[in-house]
Amino acid sequence: MQQLLQQAQKMQQDLAAAQQELAETTVDGSSGGGLVKATVNGSGELQGLVIDPKAVDPEDTETLADLVLAAVRDAVGGAEELQQQKLGPLAQGLGGGGGMPGLPF
């Protein structure tokens, strides 16, 4: 029983370390051939957005909005992949993570 508790504590520490690493890691996404670039952290929080002036047309803000959404989605997709890489093995050790609070899968 003591060994099981030690394993659980280690997995909890590993999970906390992986989550901290994710929060400190950034992932970039882009759209429109690089006209719009978004940066998110490994947790999927938007950290930065760069819009090339060529993408700004006052007559067509709808296209710009679509480019921003696409860039953010691209970056968030990269963050989700990073989460799977970092947290996936830990969740497997916890029995797959299915439905566990705080785990994105």
User: H/E/C letters for each residue in 31-54?
Assistant: EHHHCEEEEEECCCCEEEEEECHH
Domain that holds residue 62: 24-82
Copy the structure tokens of residue 24. Answer: 């400190």
Residue the block writes with tokens 């067509």: 60
Q: Is 62 domain-assigned?
A: yes
User: What's the CA gap between 13 and 91, in Å, rounded?
Assistant: 13
Q: Is 41 domain-assigned?
A: yes
Domain count, the chain: 1
| Predicted pLDDT of residue 89 | 73
For 35-44, 64-73, 85-94, which range has the lowest pLDDT when averaged over its residues? 85-94
| Predicted pLDDT of residue 56 | 93
Q: Is 8 domain-assigned?
A: no
Give me Rg for the CA atoms of the chain: 18
Q: Is 36 domain-assigned?
A: yes
Q: If pLDDT is split at 50, 70 and 90, which confidence band does 19 have?
A: confident
Q: What is the CATH number of the domain that holds 53?
A: 3.30.1310.10
Q: Is 43 domain-assigned?
A: yes
